[in-house]
Amino acid sequence: MPVLKYGVSLKGPSPVPFMESIPANPQWFTIRLANGANCPMVQNDRVNGPIRQGIQRWQHSTIENVLLDGNAKGQTTGDCVGFDFADFWGLEVKGCNVMYTKSHAMRVLSANAFKVRDTHGILGNFDGNNPFAGTNVWHLEDIVDSDLGDGCWLGGSPGSVVYVGKRESGVNNRTWLFKLRGGLAFNSTGAHGMEIDDCDDSLGIEVGGWRLDQNAGHGLLMKNSPNNRVWGNVGALNGLADFRYEQSPGTVHSDSNYGAVEVVA
């Protein structure tokens, strides 16, 4: 699998737009997972680079204008994640698109100083040619001091489109002081647009400016995750309540959220 070495950046010539199917001859810089590879597509460097905290290393890299084709139909087993990042500081992803991965489009475990913008993800579409495979488009655990989502359009997953949780063995061992802002999470066929789960020692996740649209479950489901800020979001056409908060005291959910139903339990 490709490993992005410390201090090295991966850049294509032009941003990859949002799309729900890949053209036969894509014009963008493309990495396609070979049949039977059954592995993650791009990982961060976990050996080189200075240690910043615990086992977290300084990555000092940018990934820009890259199309990842996960070729889910060609995989049989394995953890076929698109961007697979763990235990790092200092990485930026922009102008990319991750499509048809058998596992998550992006999985991030124990990150500080991480930024993602104008980067899209689609796990499957409805024409039957690329069936839904991976669980979450984004799977995030143990995130600190990061800014994710500006201009990112994500959808087509059997699990929650964006999942945020607490990594019990993480270096930070908490999810705090990071922003999820300005994205679109749509078309989860079996769960929620965004799910924030058991971030019980959170010191403030900000969820702002998202459209949470046409998901089978809730637009946003927040469980056992206190002291967050939820503002300026739109929930529409979700199967259940557009915004639901369970056992999340101290969470401020602003009147600027627009949705048909908002529930506090």
72 three-state secondary structure: helix
Both tokens of 73, joined, read: 């139909």
Q: Please check whether residue 205 lies inside any domain of the structure.
A: yes
CB-based contact 233:210 (threshold 8 Å): yes
Q: Is 170 domain-assigned? A: yes
Strands 83-94 and 42-44, bridge-based pairing:
parallel
Task: Give the strand pairing for 262-264 and 162-165.
Answer: unpaired
Range of the domain at 175: 3-17+27-264
Strand partners for 99: 69, 122
Domain harbouring 165, CATH code: 2.160.20.10
Q: For residue 22, is it within any domain?
A: no
User: With contact defined as beta carbons under 8 Å apart, do 224 and 200 qualify?
Assistant: yes
Half-sphere exposure of 32 (CA within 13 A, CB side): 13
The count of structural domains within the chain is 1
Q: Note if the pTM is more than 0.85.
A: yes
DSSP assigned state of 55: T
Give every CB contact of residue 109 below 8 A, 6+ residues apart in sequence: 85, 86, 87, 141, 142, 167, 170
Tens of each residue's pLDDT in the chain, 265 residues: 789 999 999 999 999 999 988 998 999 999 999 999 999 999 999 999 999 989 999 999 999 999 999 998 888 887 899 999 999 999 999 999 999 999 999 999 999 999 999 999 998 765 555 555 668 999 999 999 999 999 999 998 999 999 999 887 777 767 778 999 999 999 999 999 999 998 887 678 999 999 999 999 999 999 998 889 999 999 999 999 889 999 888 888 876 787 756 777 6
